[in-house]
Amino acid sequence: MSNTKIKIQLESEIGELEGVIIHTPGNEVENMTPENAERALYSDILNLSVALEEYKQLSGVLEKVTNVFQVRDLLTDIFENYDVKNVLIDRITKSCRAKDIKNILMEHNSDELSKLLIEGIPMQKNSLSNYLDKNYFELEPLHNFFFTRDASSAVNDSVLINRMASSVRNRESVIMESIFEYHPSFITQTINPENSRTFEESITMEGGDILVARKDILLIGTGIRTSSQGIDYIARKIESREQVRHIIVQELPYTPESFIHLDMVFTLLDNDKCMVYEPLIMKINRFLTLHLIVQNGKIVSIEEVANIPAVLNDLGMPVKPVLCGGNSKKNQEREQWHSGANFFAFSPGKLIGYERNNYTIEALNKEGFSVLKAKDVISGKENIKDHKKLVVTIHGSELARGGGGARCMTMPVRRKKL
């Protein structure tokens, strides 16, 4: 069990990273077929061996710059406590309507159990009903868990436990809540809408839609994954602790799937720069950008604004847009599709993103960002301290087909204050 103690603190998207949670994809990715891919929220099935090699570049760079926690290790740690193990398995088997396997799960040691809860439990074909059942699994694999961004979100000194839009991802939120509540490495409090007296089924929110621009500013996307009711809940719960005064809401298209979250069209890069998908963020269109002012847990005003950078400028946080895909509409569409706007900052002006998005990387380079290959950073050939601004590029031919980029695959728990 790790002796590193992390007090949750996240007041920006770009402060120097001091701790991050990731999940290296495993057999849960291969436990997918063309038949169940759509239900698993994929448009295609991934080649695990290729995806793993690409993922090692992301994890390798992160390990060079910060404390890295793996979900499976954290889960294994908390299962060493029998009472926690009993409570968590009870919650999971009830929520998955698989109560009859609780005793079987309790018999496994901590490491085996964490593996099963992520990779899935095959259905025993020991009855006619099971034999005829079209499902392969008694407990479905968590195909999406390597996108650790979505199930929980650190906001200031608390962690939102997100109620995700699809029930196939519910277990991810249960696991992350248990980690933050029971693992000794983290000092925080969790905020879960399902524990609220005012809970509504319509409340959904996911971490890809939630960006902490500044201690008093949240950017939140609303679309197929995060509902307006989810944003109302966040406004009530976070602001009640006098930590958020402004929420900038960006409406998102429900289709195509590449617009699934706000961070697929907008991410913060540096103190004065952001990455945008220009047609949605900067051009006049039917999708609203709204500025909410929140006081004492209540929304006191809602105003339509031109775009996110404009309202950030009005709030004393000017940012210059860098265009995903450069200036060509065709290139913008192609590169946004493969997470071209989805960058993860591990320090102000120091980023990780997919190298496949050539025109986006070129646009960053023109803005003074050095372009380094992940393999050179990992090997020590390149030292990130030698560059004031940089983008570390990782291979993304297979990972990008999963529908997310570097920000999607990282859940930061602590950043230095700017």
- Domain annotation covers residue 143: yes
The residue type found at 142 is L
Alpha-helical segments (H) within 136-226: 170-182
Helix axes 358-366, 329-337, angle to 10 degrees: 110
**What is the arithmetic mean of pLDDT over 295-321?**
96
**What is the arithmetic mean of pLDDT over 317-335?**
97
- Domain annotation covers residue 166: yes
pLDDT in tens, 362-379: 999 999 999 999 999 999
Q: In the predicted model, is pLDDT for residue 43 greater than 90?
A: no
Q: What was the pLDDT predicted at 33?
A: 61
**What is the arithmetic mean of pLDDT over 188-205?**
94
- Domain annotation covers residue 1: no
Domain of residue 120, residue span: 6-415
For the stretch 379-388, what's the b/e string if a residue is b when 16 or more beta carbons lie within 10 angstroms of its beta carbon?
eeebebeebe
Structure tokens at 138: 């008694």
- Domain annotation covers residue 161: yes
Q: What was the pLDDT predicted at 94?
A: 83
Return the minimum-mean-pLDDT range out of 47-56, 91-100, 205-214, 242-251.
91-100
Confidence of residue 31 (pLDDT cuts 50, 70, 90): confident
Q: Cα–Cα distance between 280 and 294 in angstroms, integer?
A: 25
- Domain annotation covers residue 312: yes
The CATH code of the domain that includes 209 is 3.75.10.10
Q: What was the pLDDT predicted at 154?
A: 98
Q: Which of 324, 330, 333, 328 is CA-nearest to residue 407?
A: 324
The residue type found at 355 is E
Identify whether the C-beta of residue 229 lies closer than 8 Å to the C-beta of residue 203: yes
- Domain annotation covers residue 361: yes
**What is the arithmetic mean of pLDDT over 301-323?**
98
* Average pLDDT of the residues of the chain: 92
Q: Give me the number of domains the chain comprises.
A: 1
Q: Cα–Cα distance between 67 and 406 in angstroms, integer?
A: 16
Q: What was the pLDDT predicted at 104?
A: 87
pLDDT in tens, 124-173: 767 676 666 667 788 889 999 999 999 999 999 999 999 999 988 999 99
Q: What are phi and psi of 293, to 5 degrees?
A: -105, 130
For the stretch 260-270, what's the b/e string if a residue is b when 16 or more beta carbons lie within 10 angstroms of its beta carbon?
bbbbbbbbbbb
